[in-house]
Amino acid sequence: NIVYLNGEFLPIEQASISVMDRGFLFADSVYEVIPVYAGRPFRLVQHIERLNRSLNAIRLSLSDLNIQWNDLFSELISQNNLQQGSLYLQVTRGSPSKRDHRLADETQPTVFIKADCLASNSSKTQNEPEALKVITVDDFRWQRCDIKSTGLLANCLARQMAEDQQASEAIFIAGEQVNEGSASNVFIVEQGVIKTPPLSNNILGGITRDLVLEMADNNGWPTEQSSIRLEQLYHADEVWLTSSSREIQPVTQVDDKTIGDGAIGPLWHKIVHEFADFKQRLFSG
Ligand code: PLP
End-to-end CA distance of the chain: 29
Helix pair 266-283, 207-218: axis angle to 10 deg: 100
Domain ranges of the chain: 2-119, 124-283
pLDDT attached to residue 126: 66
Contacts 24+ apart (CB under 8 A), 73-79: 73/34, 73/41, 73/44, 73/113, 75/4, 75/9, 76/2, 76/3, 76/4, 76/9, 76/113, 76/115, 77/36, 77/39, 77/40, 77/41, 77/115, 79/2, 79/9, 79/115
pLDDT tens-digit readout, 36-56: 999 999 999 999 999 999 999
Mean pLDDT of 237-242: 98
Establish whether residue 244 lines the binding site of ligand 1, counting it when its CB lies within 6 angstroms of any ligand atom.
Answer: yes
Within 10 Å of residue 129's Cβ, how many Cβ atoms? Answer: 15
pLDDT attached to residue 283: 80
Establish whether residue 207 lines the binding site of ligand 1, counting it when its CB lies within 6 angstroms of any ligand atom.
Answer: yes
pLDDT tens-digit readout, 141-194: 999 999 999 999 999 999 999 999 999 999 999 999 999 999 999 999 999 999
SS3 state of residue 274? helix
Mean pLDDT of 65-78: 97
- Cβ proximity of 169 and 241 under 8 Å: yes
Mean pLDDT of 125-144: 91
Q: Which of 63-67, 196-200, 234-238, 249-253 has the lowest mean pLDDT?
A: 63-67
* Residues near 94 by beta carbon (within 8 Å), at least 6 away in sequence: 21, 22, 107, 108, 109, 110
pLDDT attached to residue 119: 64
* Residues near 36 by beta carbon (within 8 Å), at least 6 away in sequence: 42, 77, 82, 83, 84, 85, 86, 87, 115
Cα 218 to ligand 1 centre (Å): 23
Half-sphere exposure of 240 (CA within 13 A, CB side): 30
**How far is residue 91's CA from residue 66's CA, in Å, rounded to a whole number?**
14
Cα 186 to ligand 1 centre (Å): 10
- The closest residue, in CA terms, to atom 10 on ligand 1 is 184
Mean pLDDT of 229-250: 98
Which of 204, 241, 242, 249 has most ligand 1 atoms within 8 Å of CB, for mutation? Answer: 204
pLDDT tens-digit readout, 73-121: 999 999 999 999 999 999 999 999 999 999 977 899 999 999 999 765 5
Q: Indicate the residue type of 87.
A: L
Residue 127 has pLDDT above 90, yes or no: no
**How far is residue 251's CA from residue 238's CA, in Å, rounded to a whole number?**
7
Q: Using pLDDT thresholds of 50, 70 and 90, give the confidence band for residue 125.
A: low
Architecture of the domain defined by 2-119: 2-Layer Sandwich (3.30)
Establish whether residue 242 lines the binding site of ligand 1, counting it when its CB lies within 6 angstroms of any ligand atom.
Answer: yes
CATH number of the 124-283 domain = 3.20.10.10
pLDDT attached to residue 128: 74
Interior angle at CA 65, CA 61 and CA 68, nearest 5: 105
- Cβ proximity of 172 and 182 under 8 Å: yes
Residue 26 has pLDDT above 60, yes or no: yes
pLDDT attached to residue 104: 79
Q: Using pLDDT thresholds of 50, 70 and 90, give the confidence band for residue 129.
A: confident
pLDDT attached to residue 106: 82
Residue 122 has pLDDT above 80, yes or no: no
Instruction: State the catalytic residues.
Output: 148
Establish whether residue 86 lines the binding site of ligand 1, counting it when its CB lies within 6 angstroms of any ligand atom.
Answer: no
pLDDT tens-digit readout, 267-281: 999 999 999 999 999
State the average pLDDT for the chain.
Answer: 95
Which of 243, 246, 275 has most ligand 1 atoms within 8 Å of CB, for mutation? Answer: 243
